[in-house]
Amino acid sequence: MSADILRIGRVIEVSGARVIGELEASVEDLYRTYKSRRYTVGQVGSIVRIEAGDKLVFGLVTALRMAEMVIAEKSPNTKAHERNGDAKWLEIELFGEGLRTGIGDNDFTFERGVVTYPLPGQPIFVATVGELGRIYNRPDKPSIHIGTLAQASALPVYLMTNELLGKHFAVLGTTGSGKSCSVTVLLQAILDIAPSGHIILLDPHNEYGKAFGDRAEVIDPTTLHLPHWLMNFEESTELFVGKTEFAATSQTNILKEAILAARRSFGTAGIEKDSITVDTPVPYKLGDLLDSVVAQANGLAPSKKESHDKIIAKIKAMQTDKRFAFLVRPDADVVDGLASTIRQYLRIPTDNKPISIIDLSGVPSDVVDVVVSVLCRMIFDFAVWSPRPVKVPILLVCEEAHRYAPRSDAAAFQPTKQALARIAKEGRKYGVSLGLVSQRPSELAETILSQCNTIIALRMSNEQDQNFVQRALPDAVRSLVDVLPTLRAQEALIVGEGTAVPVRVRFSDLAEDRRPHSADVPFAALWNEDAADADYVIDIVHRWRHQERAGVGK
């Protein structure tokens, strides 16, 4: 039998997985001490136990409130009533049960889900550390250690790797909540047990360059190589026609015919020219593209050459713009390098560097959406055309996901949004996992977020974001969204397929040299004295003009 000191109340009402309990009048403080260990009482997010015969039913406290109850006098001849303002009620969401295997307090096997429901009047107890250890025990499936239980720092928390990756996940939290560090802890834990993984991390702010040390292949704008011929027709239209001006049917038709002619003109061994389409990923030279546009304009009146001239001017301007050198390749450099590009980005073979970090911070803003679209589509197409069974599962982690898959179609570059949506909906079948990271989940496409079956929610103070996350959570834990504004840095609420039960976790600490560049800037310390001189500005101007990255710590 459980120690009376751990008893805190009794069941009043049972409605499905939801239980209402009344705290005992003797509960006057927030803690109970048992076997030299202090336990919290009635805290939102804490675990309680209800004994139901040989079953132990466990639940998560989701709310605590004081109710004013009207209690009738004992005398049946009087209608007088008294009011009791001290009744405290617990709201509990049941999540699992244990079947006793012995007489010891911790002799039970835990299973997710509830079959035996408690009855009104049955006692409610605080779950002990030993019982929590059984609940949060390392799963018998492949799993990663990411931190400790927030209410019991001695208990490690594990996530199930296949469930986390196989059914997508999302890391959501406001700026300063520890989101980037949490992503780093998560990915480092995955790589610790999967040294031959294949992870692509889209890094829009140059945060993660040093976080993974020698295990990462960092690709920045100076080493980024995504030749123009990798784009499909829709992406090419975005680049060569533009979204700021009306893309008339005549311009798109001109471009389509020119790209098709240029691809067929280049030719690729083993592919018949007639089988090449405008979207076939075979190389073509921009010189051949321009020649085709000029050829289409021959014989036309000057007034009808305007569309042709705009395309030619746009392409020639990009050819002379150094910012687009990674994308717009000179004719002499055009080779069939699709296989080598895939090997580099997807880490095949890994060469002891299982993660590719794509630094997008220096990519021009007017073309970054096209770059992300090409990367996402290349990953998915590679997986689709790979033989079964899957030999190379891939994880794509998209930082600032709301930028590339916004809720509003008007704000979206449709090819990028469509590529991410296709991975979210179909990627699991082909071994492509998606990890979304966002500080504004309310701006994220709901159809894409809904495919993420594990939600890692850090501190979130914006009510609109909270409501959005609430809709994405399972019904049984939606009330836990109320705790999001009170989470500390490094703390998160994790629910979904990746965890055996909903858990409030404190992520593991990171070594100083493995933290992403996302920490708050210490204004007070840096403004205490001059930390830079004229040479500092001159050096930055030089880097700015030459598009050169500064090294870490410089």
Q: How far apart are CA 108 and CA 128, in angstroms?
A: 13
Q: Is 178 left (phi over 0), alpha (psi -120 to 50) or beta?
A: left
Tens of pLDDT, residues 372-392: 999 999 999 999 999 988 899
DSSP-assigned states of every residue in 167-207: T-EEEE--TTSSHHHHHHHHHHHHHHH-TT--EEEEETTS-
Beta bridge partners of 495: 455
Domain ranges within the chain, ordered by starting residue:
4-135, 156-227+337-546, 228-324
Q: Chain centroid to CA 424: how far?
A: 12
d(CA 530, CA 532): 6
Place of tokens 């109340």: 9
Element (H, E) at 61: strand 55-72
Residues 459 and 480: their CA atoms lie apart, in Å, by 12
Nearest alpha carbon to residue 343 among 304, 302, 389, 379? 379
Write out residues in the chain with pLDDT < 50, as ranges.
1, 71, 78-83, 244, 247, 552-554
Each residue of 457-488: pLDDT tens digit?
Answer: 999 888 888 888 877 776 666 667 777 888 88
CATH architecture of 156-227+337-546: 3-Layer(aba) Sandwich (3.40)
- Distances in whole angstroms, Cα of residue 437 to Cα of each of 400, 460, 493, 501: 6, 13, 15, 22
Per-residue pLDDT, 61: 86
Distance CA 114, CA 315 (A): 63
All residues at 6 or more sequence positions from 26 whose CB lies less than 8 Å from its CB, including other chains: none
For residue 81, with 0-12 CB atoms within 10 Å meaning exposed, 13-18 middle and 19 or more buried, which class applies?
exposed
- At 477 the pLDDT is 66
Cβ atoms of residues 187 and 199 within 8 Å: yes
Looking at residue 520, its pLDDT comes to 66
Q: How far is CA 329 from the centre of its chain?
A: 33
Bridging pattern class, strands 355-359 and 216-219: parallel
C-alpha distances (whole Å) from 49 to each of 13, 15, 61, 97, 260 are 15, 17, 10, 9, 67
